[in-house]
Structure 1
Amino acid sequence: MKKIVLTGAAGNLGHELRATLASMAAELVSTDIAEPRSELLANETWVKADLAEMDQIAPLLEGAEMVVHFGAIVDEKPFEELLGPNYIGAYNIWEAAHRHGLRRVVYASSIHAVGLCENNRGIDTDEPHRPDTFYGLAKCFAEDMGRMYWEKRGLEAVCLRIFSCTPEPQNARALGSWLSYRDLRQLVTRAIETPTVGFTVAYGVSANDRAPVSNARVGFLGYKPQDNAEDWAETLLPQARPDPADLAQTRVGGPFATVALGESGVAGIKALSGK
């Protein structure tokens, strides 16, 4: 491809994707409100821009074929704090992509779009929205917008409902929810390279024996995860304290399912990990 745009490029996952995306296009435009975390790649340009400001975002997409939209606040916050980057920012990306004739948006959605679903139901990619937080609600908003822009304007979208993406599983919940960095890179690559996708939802999860979700309906993406959190089970299971009444243990959203609206869910995940 001639040009790919990556938002949220200074975040943990965006930073991890930079080299992969740079290898897939003649030009990579990386953007964030922060400075880059490492030296720029040979074909990479860095632009500081605010997702909530259309006049800053729209020009970056000119001439691009795809945008990989990973920019957002990645925790539960009061609605007013999420409105700009997570809600308006998503609209700005889709609208700018439409205006400039992009083919596809690859979007970092989240398991929190269905975070109140039970772990033991074995949900798939047709599961209706059931957000656990304002953060999860923003993901529902963007997914629905992605479907609408496909059906009304022909702009393709792949919405990746990412679980717990870390270098290694951090706690017993991650035995089901972990997404390795290697599998993340493969998933995004497949979301870009698949010839036609229309509007597609896929779960960002590794090949975990205990995964509470299924990607069986989206096999056409060719995503075949390589890593399995079960390799850490012997270490992580003794740390668990089973409580069937604790929504953090029984819902796919984990601690986000239990926090009050507007309060940090990341803090609960850190507590599970003993950090």
Structure 2
Amino acid sequence: MKKLVLTGAAGRLGSYLREPLSQMCDRLVSTDWTEDIGKLYPSETYVKADLGDLEAMEAVLDGADMVVHFGAIGDEAAWDKILHSNIIGAYNVWEAAARKGLRRVVYASSIHAVGMYPKTQRIDTEVPHRPDTYYGLAKCFAEDLGSLYWDKKGIESVHLRILSAAQVNNPRALGSWLSYDDLIHLVQQAITTPITGFCVIYGVSNNDRVTVDNHKAAFLGYRPKDNAEQCAEEVLAAADPADPHDPGQMCQGGPFASVEIGFSGTASMNIVQDKKEI
């Protein structure tokens, strides 16, 4: 590819994607709304841009083959904040992609689009949406937007319903963990698969306790290698007894399923901010 765009490049997941994506194209344009992201990789440039600004998105996507869209508020938040970055931002990315003739959008969706399903029900990629928050609702919107733009404008999209791409330090993560290596593999497969149309795939590693089913997305060639079971003994020994009446423990969305709408779902998750440094 000549040009690839990565939104959300300043984020934790973006920090792990920048180098491998820069090796897949002649030019990687990383973008976020911070002033800069520090040292750049050899084929990488950085552009500060607001997802809520359609003209800015058109400028960033001009001449690109594909966009890997990881930019958004990565937590539950007040409606107006989710609306600007996660909903209007998604529309602007797809509309700019259509106007600039991009072939495909690779989108960081989330388990929170279906977060209210119980973990005792193994769900596939075709279950109806069941969001757990405004954040999850925005992911539902973007998935439906991708379907619409495929049907009406012929733009392919791969929607990566990421479960939990963070260190394994709680019982839920034993089934939901997505390692950084598997994340990179997942995104690479979403980019290089010859034909995708519109599709959804769960972003999760090869965990023994996984609660979702990717068999309908097998054509993407995503074959995760890592397994959170290596952490099970230590994590379970340190955990409080499970409460079967707590939606945060019973539902796919974890703490997002139990918080009040508009309030942080990550506040109680003890996520380690281990961004990759160049």
TM-score by length of 1: 0.96
Whole-angstrom CA distance in 2 between matches of 1:202 and 1:116: 18
Residues 87-119 of structure 1 show CA distances to partners (whole Å, capped at 9, x for unaligned) of 100000000000011000000000000000010
- Specify every segment of 5 or more residues in structure 1 that has no aligned partner in the other structure, as ranges: none
C-alpha distance in 2 between matches for 1:55 and 1:170? 41
The equivalent of 2:192 in structure 1 is 193
Query: Which residue in the other structure is 1:242 paired with?
Result: 242
SS in 2 for 1:164: coil
What CA distance in whole angstroms lies between the structure 2 residues aligned with 1:270 and 1:254? 13
Quick one: distance in 2 between partners of 1:24 and 1:225? 20
Q: Distance in 2 between matches of 1:7 and 1:77?
A: 20
SS at match of 2:218: helix
Task: Indicate the larger mover: 28-37 or 82-91.
Answer: 28-37
- What is the aligned partner in structure 1 of residue 41 from structure 2? 41
1:12 to 2:12 alignment: yes
The aligned amino acid for 1:10 is A
**Paired amino acid for 2:212:** V
Name the structure 2 match of 1:169: 168
TM-superposed deviation, 1:270: 2.4
Instruction: Work out the percentage of aligned pairs sharing the same amino acid.
Output: 58
Residue pair 1:183, 1:225 contacting (<8 A) in 2 also: yes
**Contact 2:36/2:48, CA 8 A, preserved across alignment:** no
Q: Distance in 2 between matches of 1:212 and 1:9?
A: 29
| Secondary structure of residue in 1 paired with 2:209 | coil
8 Å CA contact 1:172–1:239 kept in 2: the answer is: no
Gaps of 5+ in 2: 272-278
User: C-alpha distance in 2, partners of 1:48/1:212?
Assistant: 38
2: CA distance, partners of 1:239 / 1:9: 34
Shift of 1:36: 4.2
Structural RMSD (CA):
1.0
Greater shift, 231-240 or 254-263, is seen at 231-240
Contact 2:113–2:131 (CA under 8 A) maintained in structure 1: yes
Give me the whole-angstrom Cα distance separating, in 2, the residues matched to 1:206 and 1:170. 15
- 1:233 aligns with 232
Alignment partner, residue 81 of structure 1: 81
Code of the residue aligned with 1:94 in structure 2: it is W
CA distance in 1, matches of 2:22, 2:35: 18
Distance 2:162 2:37 in 1: 22
Pairs aligned (count): 270
- Other-structure match for 1:267: 267
Distance 1:246 1:112 in 2: 17
SS in 1 for 2:109: strand
State the match for 1:137 in structure 2: 137
| Structure-2 residue corresponding to 1:215 | 214
TM alignment of 1:150-161, pairs within 5 A: 150-161=150-161
| 4+ aligned runs moved over 6 Å, structure 1 | none
Instruction: Tell me the distance in 1 between the aligned counterparts of 2:96 and 2:237.
Output: 49
- Which amino acid is the alignment partner of residue 151 of structure 1? D
The answer to whether the 8 Å contact 1:15/1:37 transfers is no
Q: What CA distance in whole angstroms lies between the structure 2 residues aligned with 1:14 and 1:170?
A: 21
Whether the 8 Å contact between 2:37 and 2:46 is mirrored in structure 1 is no
Deviation at 1:132, TM superposition (A): 0.2
CA distance in 2, matches of 1:37, 1:58: 21
Q: Which amino acid is the alignment partner of residue 202 of structure 1?
A: I
CA deviation map 1:156-194 (0-9, x unaligned) = 00000001102x312111000100000000000000000
